Amino acid sequence: MRKCVSTSWNPASTEDLKKLRDLVPDPKPVHHVVVDFGLDAPTNVALLGAEMKPQVIGANQPARVSLTVGVTGSDRPLDVTVHATLDGAAKPDTKAVTVAPGTTRELVFEFRTLKPGLHQVEFALAAPDKLPFDNKRFLTFKVGESRRVLTITDDKEGAAFWQAAHTAKGEFDCLVVTPDQIELGNGGITLVRYAPDLKKPNETVTDDLRGFEALCLLSVSNPHAGNPARPNDGSLWDRLRPVLRAGGKLIVIPGSDTATNTDGYNVAADLMPAKLKKDIIETRKLKNVPPQPAPNWLAPREGKNGVTWVLDEAALKHPMLKIIAEWRDQKANLDTIANPRTTKKYWDVTPDPAASAVVYYRDAEAAKDRRPAVLERPVLDKDGKAAKGKVVLLTTRMDIMPDDDLWHDYWEQEGSSWYAAFPYLLVRYLAGNTADANFNFPTGATVTVPLPLGRLDRTSEVVLEGGPPGHIVGDDAKPPRGTQADLRIGPPKTSAPGNYALSVQKDRVLIWKDGFSTNVPPEESNLEKVSIEEIEKLTGPNRVFAIDRNSTLRDWLNVALGQPIDLFPWLLIAVLALFVLEGLAANRFYRKPKV
């Protein structure tokens, strides 16, 4: 039977199907018949797509959603009214548009005064038609609070520039603590103890380190040292290792050569991307340093006064630096490329076999002789099998430096925005770019939802709800999360379109909520039929039987059997056989009893 539309018919497979058909030996046991029940020009009004970019917006920003409305099969333009219902809204937002047949129009909905967190919208036709699946459309987006970065340092004042760089961008909030504020809690969970209100230093709270987007060791003298007040907690590496093995991200930025215990770093061979050598590289002492070119420099500068990064095509393919290539192509933020910063001093390192260099200094002509500026390596889980966390190592310092020992000019604001761009690139790479976030999927997709492990304990139960009424019931409403950092939800749970939410409550208080939306792909609303000629390339001629008011059983059998057939004699024989069977049954079951 034919219910074929153009989007579901693949002409490229016709020849392959014909070859399979021809493999059946003669005489052919079957006839190909396609029964066409479809209308030639069905009228349909469809909501084809709801789009929002990015799907994570900052607080106090409006959410702008573009809704695509399409009309097919009508002989005149149609006035289409759409209701948009935002979760928690007292009444829907309604907009109307006139759509010509065979075209699409866009409606823009704008939602304001949104609270931070998850938001979901249902769009629906005010006058639904007879094709229900495209009468509605669903969308999920988030209003983001500042994402948190934890910086651990011996000198909080020395971290002022690093902290201010994140505050300037606004996307990340940087909490600065000392190593002694990192503790091991019950069950081996790593905590940070701090005072939210600086005016009340004795009123402290604890947070799970897994709740931070990224961690940073900034100019810590000896991360292998322990806390005298809590000797059972072990070294700082011992306290950070469980977080990294569970998927945490860490930036390691050593301090000056006079204040850094290299052995305290090198002891963490399972975490560090490289071993720190005892010697510091000073470009003024190097031999054969090549000139350093830049678009805005009148002439290449002397390399002994500082070296730049080698931002070649290979480096710009790395996810951390890819945005620099976008800046270059879009002619935005050109100062970071046209007037690059230079590095005068940096640590010489021996990379670990598991590590890779993100970018190199231009301190030698030959690529093999250049020293790395940034390295990274994965961190394996506690069983040493799967890569979970990540550690990024900078080979130059990022604290506030004395005037007589300047390692670089990264913090200079005149002529370049690198002072804010570089810290942001580092943290955004590890934490993930919110512009890439996606909460909207086609029906039947497998959706991966990250769990906030820092806010859930082993007894926490995640509840899934949403979709059409009665779709998520029973065990489907409580998906098992195991010990994974992510929860994977697939069909049949995601097979129906709708808004879905996952939540955890503790003592009737909502402690976590996330969600996503699924929609039927817009091409499913394309009701244009496959041409008879296209189908008969596979089935042969005269094998498509169209059902209409004038169709008869004889017509159907002629197509099915490939030739005309007279049914009257066969019907007489069938009636005679029926009478014979009825007589036999009557004699057998209704025989008179003997007296």
The token duo for 452 is 């906030």
Say if CB 313 and CB 347 are below 8 A apart. Answer: no
Residue type, 252: V
The token duo for 420 is 């804010």
- The CA distance from 505 to 542, in Å, is 63
CA distances from 55 to 502, 515, 516, 519 (A): 18, 12, 11, 16
Question: How many CB atoms within 10 Å of residue 497?
Answer: 19
Residues of the chain where predicted confidence (pLDDT) is lower than 50: 1-2
The domain 147-278+347-434 is placed in CATH, from the list 2.30.30, 3.40.50, 1.25.40, 3.30.70, at 3.40.50
**Which residues does residue 109 pair with via DSSP β-bridges, in sequence order?**
65
Question: How many CB atoms within 10 Å of residue 44?
Answer: 17
What is the DSSP track for 336-352?
HHHS---BSEEEEEEE-
- The CA distance from 71 to 80, in Å, is 9
Question: How many CB atoms within 10 Å of residue 334?
Answer: 15
CA distances from 65 to 60, 107, 108, 499 (A): 16, 8, 6, 16
Say if CB 259 and CB 221 are below 8 A apart. Answer: yes
* Three-state DSSP state, 92: coil
17 sits in the region (left: phi over 0; alpha: psi -120 to 50; else beta) called alpha
Say if CB 579 and CB 587 are below 8 A apart. Answer: no
Homologous superfamily of 44-145+438-525: Immunoglobulins (2.60.40.10)
Q: Tell me what pLDDT residue 541 has.
A: 77
Helix (H) or strand (E) holding 519: strand 509-519
pLDDT digits (tens, 9 = 90+) for 183-238: 998 888 899 999 988 888 888 999 999 889 999 999 999 999 999 999 999 999 99
Say if CB 388 and CB 367 are below 8 A apart. Answer: no
* Kind of pairing between the strands at 463-466 and 498-506: antiparallel
Q: Which of 360, 398, 354, 397 is nearest to 376 (CA)?
A: 354
Q: Tell me what pLDDT residue 27 has.
A: 67
* Kind of pairing between the strands at 117-125 and 440-442: unpaired
* Domain spans, the chain: 6-40+529-571, 44-145+438-525, 147-278+347-434
pLDDT digits (tens, 9 = 90+) for 308-343: 999 999 999 999 999 888 888 877 667 888 899 999
Q: Tell me what pLDDT residue 590 has.
A: 61
- The CA distance from 435 to 60, in Å, is 17
Whether a cis peptide bond, with omega within 30° of 0, leads into 11 is: no
pTM above 0.75, yes or no: no
Cα angle 81-87-90, degrees, rounded to a multiple of 5:
70
Residue type, 320: M
Q: What is the DSSP letter of 307?
A: B
Question: How many CB atoms within 10 Å of residue 315?
Answer: 20
- Token pair 């030996």 is at which residue? 25
Question: How many residues does the structure list for the chain?
Answer: 595
Say if CB 501 and CB 439 are below 8 A apart. Answer: no
Say if CB 521 and CB 442 are below 8 A apart. Answer: yes
